[in-house]
Homo-oligomer: A and B are copies of this chain.
Amino acid sequence: MDFSIPSHIQELRQAIHEYIQEELYPLEAEMLAHGWSATEEVLQAKREEVKERGWWAPQMPKDLGGAGLSLLEFSHISEVLGQSPFGHYVFNCQAPDAGNMEILHEFATPEQQEMYLEPLLAGEIRSCFAMTEPMNAGSNPTKMSTMAVKDGDEYVINGRKWFTTAADGAAFTIVMAITDPENENKYQRASLILVPMDTPGFQLVRNISVMGEPGEGYASHAEVSFDNVRVPLENLLGGEGAGFAMAQARLGPGRIHHCMRWLGICERAFALMCQRCAERELSEGKPLGTRQIAQAWIAECRVEINAARLMVLQAAWKIDNEGTYAAREEISLIKFYVAGVLQKVLDCALQLHGALGMTDDTPIAYWYRHERAARIYDGPDEVHKMVVAKRILRNYGM
């Protein structure tokens, strides 16, 4: 066992941390006050800077223009990127594009890669992933109504999805649709299909108003409909019926990304909270940090962040060394555990800021409302707990 972080990763992390503090933190106020679109242009310039520094798409292989980091290595970077709401976007490793790049890299044909993966890697287009359906519980991924029926050399797709993140302005979506409804194995009924957003019959019904924000551009969660959408059979991604398996493969490392991003948020909120405790005077010479409850929260947040980080790093290490399947228990565990830590840290940070914590003068309130979703997306906490417990109980004969 060795808990040391390799020095080249330490250095890279440090350099990126400084860049983010100096270049991205100052842009946050504008976004917090006036929405994502207000900063879109300046972020494009930052993306170019990042490319020039060789930090672009750090999670992708070098031959694809990335930095070629292992999952464990990228985890350390992802945490630093998470400290600003802009980090992952500026480094081109933001959801849902990062996940789409991964499955396109692993499962797409050369033609598909040329058409979809390359411009995505280059940051020329954005993409989305249409899976969740409004009328079906997301916690039961096999309950799905969207159908893709073969008709000659085309798929005809009908259905409705929502929470299609970043759909507004995306060039294409990957949609999960049932292609083999009678398959006895319900996990082999669905496929993933590539659909350009300008395909006739596809409609962005609405950007869903989420936590008081109508949503726009990259910062959107859309409801979309497929009304006799026709795409060539070549738009099938991977094998027919392999939709769940690929989505699952996408989710494994994706959860590591999310968890480390959340830990970045935790660290930023923790720093803001400590700063506030050290500076805010309750009375002459008595800052908030002299209060025992503030101290208790600081200590509890510190230990839970540390614990969560070790858990995620170990899971990433296991995926790197033994594969996603071997690490599936760890992946389920960190999903709900880190989401819980995130919520606690944000709650403490907000409370210790008092009224200021409610305002958009710090990013805490932004995360407080938007990252509430961490306990819901990719499977709510309660489902992960159930799944992992059932697996454990099998060892005891249940």
Q: Residues of A at under 8 Å CB distance from B?
A: 1-6, 32-33, 72, 132, 134, 137-140, 143, 162-163, 208-214, 274-275, 277-283, 287-296, 298-300, 302-304, 306-308, 310-311, 313-314, 317-318, 321, 330, 332-334, 336-337, 350-351, 354-361, 365-366, 368-369, 372-373, 375-377, 380-382, 384-386, 388-390, 392-393, 395-398
Say yes or no: B139 contacts A295, CB within 8 Å. Answer: no
Say yes or no: B212 contacts A213, CB within 8 Å. Answer: yes
Say yes or no: A274 contacts B393, CB within 8 Å. Answer: yes
Say yes or no: A396 contacts B140, CB within 8 Å. Answer: no
Say yes or no: B314 contacts A360, CB within 8 Å. Answer: no
Copy number in this complex? 4
Pick from B32, B293, B303: contact of A333, CB below 8 A: B303
Tell me the dominant secondary structure on chain A's binding face: helix
A397 to B392, CA, bound (A): 35
Say yes or no: A288 contacts B212, CB within 8 Å. Answer: no
* 18 A-B residue pairings within 8 Å (CB atoms): A3-B313, A3-B318, A208-B360, A210-B365, A211-B369, A212-B360, A274-B392, A277-B396, A277-B398, A279-B396, A291-B292, A291-B382, A295-B389, A296-B389, A302-B389, A310-B311, A354-B380, A355-B373
Given A295-B389, A318-B3, A368-B369, verify A354-B138 contact (CB < 8 Å).
yes
Contacts of A360 in B (CB 8 A): 208-212
Most buried by B among A132, A283, A310, A381: A310
Given A274-B393, A280-B137, verify A355-B368 contact (CB < 8 Å).
no
Contacts of A397 in B (CB 8 A): 278-279
